[in-house]
Amino acid sequence: MRNAASASARVNTSTPLLIFGLSRGTFHHGALGIARSAGRLGIPVYRISHERWPPLSFSRYSRGGRAIPSGASDDQIIVALRECRAKIGRAILVPIDDVSSVFVDEHASELSVDFLFPRQPDGLAQALSSKREMYEMCIAHDVPTPWSAFPQSEAELLELSQQRGFPAVLKCINVGDAPAHAPRVCIAADRNELVAAYRAMQGADISNVMLQEYVPGTPESVWMFNGYFDARSDCKLGFTGKKIRQSPPYTGVTTLGVCELNPVVHETTVRLMKAISYRGILDIGYRFDARDGQYKLLDVNPRIGGTFRLFVGTNEMDVLRALYLDMTGAEAPPSAPQDGRRWIVDPMDLASSLVYLKRGDLTVRSWLRSFRGVREAAWFTLDDPLPFLALWLRLLSDWLPRRILARRSRSTATDAPLPATAEAKERAAVRQ
C-alpha cells in the first residue's frame, strides 16, 4: 500500500465519490473495486443502487449507501440522488452499468447542478450503449467490426442465418429494452438455439436483436482498452490487455485477464474517441480475426468497466483515479503500464475454469500456470476481507435453496408414474 499512501499525500480527497448503479448487480465486483481504489487514497465513497445490502456494504472503504426501490421512475431516482447530495455534499458521480450511464446522459443538465461528471456530447453515451448505433459509428469512421444485421422479424432472422450460416451471434441492441432475464449475448450453434435466443431477447414492442457474424477464436483473442479522456477528448491514460477466461465461458465478462501492450487497439480506440468527442472513462473490447488479421470492435462501454483494476500503472494510477483528479482540477501524472500484470475474479473464475477443463480447452497444468502474474483479486484482499465473506454467504444463501428445490423436483419426477409413450400404448393394446 506504499504507493497508494504516497499518492494520497498528493491528492485533495475532500470531494466524495458516489457509485451509481441501476441494474441488478448484487455481486458487482467493479463497484467494490471503485470503493477500494478511491478509499485507499482516503476519498469518501458512497453508493446508490437497487440493492439494500450488497457485499460492497461491508467494505471498510464504504461510507454508506442508499437503496432505490425497484421500478422507481426517473423523477424518483433524481430525488434520491439529490437527497444523497444533501447529505454528502457535491460528489463525483460514477455510473457503473449501461442503464445508469444512459440515465446520466439523458439527465445531464439536471444532474450537473448537484454532481461532477464528464459531460458528453448530447446522446453520445446512449448511442455507444446501443449495439446498432455503435455498429453504424464504426462503419462511418472506418473501424473494423464484425458484419451485423438487425432483423425485424423471426422470419427475416431465419433467412439471414441461412445465408450466413452457423454459429451465429445474437445480442440485445439495448439492454434496458430487453426482458429482465434475457441473455445479453448468445452464440447459437443451430436454428433452434437461434430462435430460442431471439424470442428471449426480443422486446415487447420493438425489435431489439442484432445478428452478428461469429469471429472464431479463443478468449485470448479478445482484447480490451481501458482509458480516460479529458474535456478535449485527449487520452490522458490508456491501457490494453486481453482476456484469458470469461464467464459465461467464451462470451462473458473477464474472470482472468492480463495487461499487454497492443498498439493497434490503442491507436484505433484513441482515433475513434477523438473523432466522436468522447469524454470520461472508457471500457472497450475487440476480437482479433485471424482470417483477415484485423482487430474488430465488439462492444463499447461508455463508463467504468468491471475489469478496470486489471489496468493499473506502475504508480498505482487507474482510470478511476484519473477521473477523480480531472474532476477536482488536478492533473493525472504519466503512468506506465505493468505489462504482464494479471487480475482475477474470485470465485467466478473457478466456475469458468471447470467448464474449460471439461471441454478440453484447459488442462490442470495450464490452469495452475495461468495464475502466475496475478497481482490482485476482485473480491479477496487482506486489508478488506469482509466483502469476500459476504459474497460467499450470499452465494450459499442463493445456491442452497435452489439446489434443494432442484433435488426435490427430481425426486418427485422419479416417484411419479411415467407417462405412456405412443409405442407403449400400442404394445398394451396388442396384448389386450
Q: Taking residues 167-196, what's their average pLDDT?
A: 87
Output 217 or 292, whichever has higher pLDDT: 292
Q: β-strand 294-301 against 280-289: which pairing, if any?
A: antiparallel
Q: How confident is the model at residue 376 (pLDDT cuts 50, 70, 90)?
A: very high
Instruction: Summarize the confidence of residues 92-108 as an average pLDDT.
Output: 94
User: What pLDDT does 419 receive?
Assistant: 41
Q: Domain boundaries in the chain?
A: 2-121+218-377, 147-213
What's the mean pLDDT when you consider all of the chain? 88
Q: Where are the alpha helices (DSSP H) in 242-318?
A: 263-275
Give per-residue pLDDT as tens, 123-159.
898 899 899 999 999 999 999 999 999 999 999 999 9
The mean pLDDT value for 43-54 works out to 92
For the stretch 384-407, pLDDT in tens is 999 999 998 887 877 667 666 666
Q: What's 302's DSSP letter? A: S
What pLDDT is recorded for position 396?
A: 81
Provide the pLDDT confidence category of residue 202 given band limits of 50, 70 and 90. Answer: confident
Q: Enter the DSSP assignment of 179.
A: -
Answer yes or no: is pLDDT of 353 > 80. yes
Share of the chain above pLDDT 70, in %: 88
Find the mean pLDDT for residues 76-94: 97
Yes or no: is domain 147-213 CATH 1.20.120.1200? no
Element at 172 (helix H, strand E): strand 168-172
Q: From 3.40.50.2300, 3.30.470.20, 3.20.190.10, 2.30.29.30, which CATH number describes the 2-121+218-377 domain?
A: 3.30.470.20
Q: Who contacts 273 (Cβ-Cβ below 8 Å, separation ≥6)? A: 227, 229, 233, 235, 282
**Residue 414: per-residue pLDDT:** 44
- Residue closest to 353 by CA, chosen among 342, 340, 368: 368
- Three cell numbers, residue 11: 491528492
Whole-number pLDDT of residue 9: 46
What pLDDT, on a 0 to 100 scale, did the predictor assign at position 183? 83
Q: Provide the grid cell at 114.
A: 448537484
CB 303 within 8 A of CB 283: yes
Report whether pLDDT(184) > 90.
no
Which residues have CB under 8 Å from 44's CB, separation 6+?
Answer: 13, 16, 17, 63, 88
User: What pLDDT, on the 0 to 100 scale, is given for residue 412?
Assistant: 53
Cβ-Cβ contacts under 8 Å for 411 (sequence gap 6 or more): none
- Predicted local confidence at residue 2, as pLDDT: 45
How many Å apart are CA 137 and CA 257, to the nearest integer?
A: 28
Mean pLDDT of 3-20: 75
Average pLDDT of span 3-23: 77
Q: Name residues whose C-beta falls within 8 Å of residue 34's C-beta, 6 or more positions apart in sequence.
A: 17, 19, 45, 94, 96, 304, 320
pLDDT computed for residue 423 by the predictor: 38
Percent of the chain with pLDDT over 90: 73
Could you give the angle at which helices 98-106 and 74-88 cross, rounded to 10 degrees? 90
Give the span between the Cα atoms of 103 and 15, in whole angstroms.
22
Question: What's the pLDDT score for residue 402?
Answer: 66
| Out of 82-91, 150-159, 277-286, 398-407, least confident range | 398-407
**CB-count exposure of residue 261 (10 Å: 0-12, 13-18, 19+):** exposed
